[in-house]
Structure 1
Amino acid sequence: MSSALIIIDVQKGMFPAGAAVYKGDGLIFTIQNLLGKARAAGVPVIYIQHNAPAGKPLEYGTEGWKIHEGIKPRSVDVIVQKTTPDSFFHTTLDKELNKKGIDHLYLAGIQTEACVDTTCRSAFGKGYKVTLVSDAHSTWDSGELTAKQIINHHNGVLRWFADVYPADEIEFAAAQPASEMRGE
């Protein structure tokens, strides 16, 4: 089984002064640790970058659209552009995963109840094994629920579609060369 770490929409526009995503600094720290583990094991990292319409915080090409400086991609990482909550819908994600022989996705990112939830369910529906990193996704308070309640709820509900573990329990297996995966 070959894995990839998928980081969804962790872009500067999700961290506006005074209105940053819930526990934003902790989220960045947790994702940095996941990136370190993934890179040490040779596991591919794929960033999902949302392209929002003009005037929105993630408007394509603006400062807010850029990936957060705390988790900057490396030249070997893949960046997939999207315009909907589903990281697979009208994107190159499935093609990139198939090209690399990846069948197990570790999900982290923003926004718990939208892009993380939708991508998790979509990946499951496409036959991927999915692991949701329970403390590596975040959101904002809504009218009736706190961000913490939303995150906890989704960590419970998404167990139907994914294994759910905190980052400190994630151990990436060393990536196998494609020739070994094919039995050559």
Structure 2
Amino acid sequence: MTRALIVIDVQESFRQGARWASVSVPDIAERVGRLVTAARDRDETVIWVLHTEPGGGAFDPSSEFVRMIDGLEPLPGEAVLTKTTRNAFTSTNLQQLLTQAGIRELTICGIQTEQCCETTARVAGDFGYDVEFVTEATATFPIPHRDAPAGRSWDEVLADPRTLGTDAIAERTEYALAGRFATIRTLDEVLSR
């Protein structure tokens, strides 16, 4: 098969902070799981990516949280890559894996919509891949305004009218990607392919 499903950062690390209560797609693991099952049923490649940030905290590679969210499990033989950059290419051998397998089409899902998922889609588009971006199978969190004071509690961030909501983030990502870097697909469109 010439298609791969790239599962980006659907990891327990995100569930450790206060902002998880504001995640845009609380059932992200279930939605991604449906895509994984469909890809496996079609004999497509599934590649898992985990984000790491050495130096302590929930994203530190020595942390017990740098693993898939419960309910998601790579099969033997499925690549599990760890990255230290926003996109899944720069600090991994993803490009090499895709090239060796002859893969030219990518379906992208995961956490965070506008960061690691969008950035990976942009880089993949620049590399010439045919990219499907499944916004419904990505998740994100409200973003504080750039001029907001540092050190505020998550409740204060949410109460700030300048905080960008998750619907606006997803919409902006779709506008930025569509027709340039990726085709936006619904979950049902990909599942029924």
Deviation digits for residues 85-128 of structure 1, max 9, x if unmatched? 02110311001111111000000011112111111110011111
Following superposition of structure 1 onto structure 2, how do residues 120-131 of structure 1 map, counting pairs within 5 Å? 120-131=121-132
Q: How does 1:23-172 map to 2 (within 5 A)?
A: 23-143=24-144, 144-159=163-178, 160-171=180-191
Tell me if the contact between 2:134 and 2:185 (Cα under 8 Å) persists in the aligned partners.
yes
Amino acid in the other structure paired with 2:113: T
1:36-88 Cα shifts (integer Å, max 9, x gaps) = 11011111100111111222321103112111122111112111111100211
Aligned residues with identical type, % of pairs: 30
Q: Which string of whole-angstrom CA distances, capped at 9 and with x for unpartnered residues, describes residues 121-178 of structure 1?
A: 10011111100012011111112201221112112211121000111111486xxxxx
SS at match of 2:96: helix
Residue 165 of structure 2 aligns to which amino acid in structure 1? Answer: T
Separation in structure 2 between the aligned mates of residue 47 and residue 172 of structure 1, nearest angstrom: 22
Which amino acid is the alignment partner of residue 148 of structure 1? D
In structure 2, do the counterparts of structure 1 residues 172 and 39 end up closer, same or farther at CA, with 3 Å as the change threshold? farther
Cα RMSD between the aligned structures?
1.7
Confirm or deny: 8 A CA contact 1:44 1:77 kept in the other structure.
yes
How many pairs were matched up?
A: 173
AA at the equivalent of 2:183: D
Distance 1:150 1:76, change over 3 A: same
Partners of 1:157 and 1:138 in 2: CA distance:
17
Contact residue 24 and residue 166 of structure 2 kept, 8 A: no
Query: Is the Cα–Cα contact under 8 Å of residues 38 and 172 in structure 1 kept in the other structure?
Result: no
| 8 Å Cα contact 1:50-1:82 kept in structure 2 | yes
- Residue 181 of structure 1 is matched in structure 2 by none
Deviation at 1:18, TM superposition (A): 4.6
2:91 partner amino acid: H
Q: How far apart in 1 are the matches of 2:192 and 2:131?
A: 13
- 8 Å CA contact retained: 2:113, 2:135: no
What's the counterpart of residue 7 of structure 1?
7
SS in structure 2 of the partner of residue 59 of structure 1: coil
Separation in structure 1 between the aligned mates of residue 57 and residue 119 of structure 2, nearest angstrom: 20
Kept after mapping to 2: 8 A contact 1:132/1:165: yes
Q: Any gaps of 5 or more consecutive residues in structure 1?
A: 174-184
Query: Residues of 1 paired with 2:62 and 2:192: CA distance?
Result: 33
